Every structure is written in structure tokens, then in C-alpha cells.
Amino acid sequence: MKEIIEDIQNLMKEGAFRDEQHIRFSLVGRTCKALGWNIWNPAEFYTEYPVKKYPVQNINAELRGKVDIALISTEKLSEIADVFIEVKTPYKLQTERQAGEDQLQSYNFWDKSAISILTDGITWLFYLPSAGGSFGDKLFCEFNLLSDDIDDICNMVNSFLRRDNFSQTAIQTAEEMLEEKRMIILIGKVKKQAEDIAVNLGDSQFIVAQKLIKNQHKKECPLSEIQRLWVKAKYISEPVNVISEPTQVHKKVMPSPKQDNLPREIQTNSLNNYLFTKPILVKINGNESINVSNWKQVKRAVYNFLIEKVPDIKLPKPYDISHNPEIYRYPISLVKGYYTESNLSSNAIVDHCKRAMKFAGFDPDTDLIISVIQIK
């Protein structure tokens, strides 16, 4: 599976996938075949699958009541699909995510698939239609084919798309991930308040958070779960609108860190994996070190530097910048009225920064130093 994903990544970077049909067959079809689905059997890999019942008021020229791809385990002797896959043209989900979710919600109006997927080949979004809430709330997993860790991508497609996993194993795993995601959101909502109260009372922040979740959200949460998910929650506790932090984050200038004098837990060498790390300093092209406290600030610092140094910089998607914040899911503000995407993992942000620097003519291996500490 890893070799196939790597080849698809290379083809994507070369611009081989140009339209929805390329994504549907050469990317999604190829992936499904590697995961055990017989894509040559229309009863199992059913393209233009007509749903049994569909909200009539929703049918129009674009929404025809037909799913791009339905995966069906033929041995079940059932015509109800295991997976609905809605396919878009590359990069379309940057602006058409809500429309895609509305489509999948309509397709699952009567006979719900076990899992539904929305993808433009790059962004992959996995939903559990049987869960409660709005369709967006049913999202339990997502990845970016170009920027996320390839082993993580392989694990996710194997867990939720491998034919042998349908349907009990895939659904159970999806339910567990969705419950964990919702718990992380709850922790994120009370985290800052819990930290403040804990400092004032001299109490455990985890115990305070547990009480706040119960009182404010009527949800029982084991203390062990709060402790386990605490680090993850802090990355989603910020508002999802445009983040308007100061563009200059280096009010306090620190000297360039030297590897010999740093405490053992601080790393400045390039890492293969930045999961469970926290950035503390960024040094760009030999300039003064910039204090940072999260990965969004790392991306802002690097991108602001590039905008100032290369005024006419043009970056390809998905590493681009724009004066229009609406094209990004979670935009962050940059200098000169620019914005860029912030809804990324630590590994993805490092990848974006390095690629942006390379496109701008810098050597990211020597011109970018990110000092981090381990948080796990």
C-alpha cells in the first residue's frame, strides 16, 4: 500500500490528476483495488450508484441522486452499499467542502452507508452517517495525501477502506475515533478555564476539567481519558475564525540556540516526525530567533518572512497564500493582507514551510531551524 500511495503522491505533484474522472478511477479506483475491492465488478465497485430514496427537493442539475462510487460487499446479498465515495476535482474541497457534505447527507437520507468519504484526491474526509448531529459533526477522520505522514495515511485507509474490514471492524473503529474526537472538543472548550482555576485553587487541572465538562456539558468523562487527551485538545481549543495574532511574534529576542548549550530535551536538528513536539524558537535565513508557542505561529513566522523578502512570491497549492481568507478552512492572517491555511498537523506545517522556502529560492535544510521540545 505504501508504494502505491507514494506513486500517487508523485503523480499528483506532477499534475497528472486534472479532473474528477482522473481522481475517480486512477486514484480512488486504484486505491480500492489495492485494498481488496474488485473494481472490475460493477456490483461491487458501483459507479453512478442511484440511491433508493433521495429528498426530491434537493435534486437539481448538480445533485442527481447518484453517488460517484459505492462499494458493496457482494457476498452479503444486499444492495445496500458499505461505502459512499463522493469525488471532486483536485483542490476543489478548499472551496466546496460544505456542498460535498450536503450531497453525502442527501445520499444517506434513507439507506445509510457504513462509512461515507468525500475526497478531491488530496483531502480525504471520512464520515460515520449513523452518528448523531449535523453531517459535519459525523466527521471522524481526515488526512491530506500530500502533506501527512505516509504511514498514518496507510493505517487510515487500511482501517476504514480495506474490504476485509467491512463492516463491523470499520464501524467500531470509526465510532471509537468519533467519540474520542468529540471528547477532545469538549476538553478543548474547558481547557483554558480549567488551567486558570487550577492555578488559583492549587488543584489538578484534570480534575477541574472533569467537573467543568460535567457541569457545563452534562457529560461524564473518566479522569484517565482527560489526561490522555489533554495534549491533543490544546490544538483545537482556539477559535476557528481568522486568527488575528500579532504578525511579529518576536517581541523578546533570544540569541541563536546552539546545540551544545541546549538542554537535552530541546531539539534543533531536522526530525522525521514532529508529532508530540512543541515549537519554541524559529530561526530563518540566519536572522534573529523568533519565539513561538504553537505550530500556527511557526507557519506565520516563515510565511511572513517570505512575503517580506520575496514580494511577488507565488506558491502552488496547497502551500499557497491569498488575500481571500474564505478559500481556507481555518485561515491565519499574515503581513500585507495575506492569509494561509492553519488546519494542519505539525508534520504538515513543517512540510509546508520547507516547500514554501524552496519555491522562494531558499534552502530549507540550512535556512530554517525550528527548535522544539518533546511533549510526550
Classify 38 as helix, strand or coil: coil
pLDDT per residue as tens digits for the range 11-24:
988 889 999 999 99
Which tens digit of pLDDT belongs to each residue from 52-79? Answer: 766 655 555 455 578 999 999 877 656 6
Range in 30-39, 112-121, 329-338 the model is least confident about: 329-338
Share of the chain above pLDDT 70, in %: 85
* pLDDT band at residue 33 using 50, 70 and 90 as cut-offs: very high
Contact 328, 299 (CB under 8 A): no
pLDDT tens for residues 145-160?
988 888 889 988 988 8
Does residue 248 surpass a pLDDT of 50?
Answer: no
What is the CATH code for 2-166?
A: 3.90.1570
- Kindly report, as residue ranges, where domains of CATH 3.90.1570 are found in the chain: 2-166
Q: Are 9 and 145 in contact (CB under 8 A)?
A: yes
Nearest alpha-carbon partner for 55 in 88, 104, 97: 104
Instruction: Specify the pLDDT at position 372.
Output: 87
Would you state the cell numbers that stand for residue 47, as one nine-digit string?
A: 459507479
Q: Could you read off the pLDDT of 304-321 as tens digits, one per residue?
A: 999 999 888 888 888 899
Beta bridge partners, 373, equal 266, 278
Strand segments (E) across the chain: 45-50, 66-71, 83-87, 115-119, 123-127, 139-144, 266-267, 277-284, 290-291, 331-333, 339-341, 368-374
183 alpha carbon, distance to own chain's centre = 17
pLDDT at 58: 53
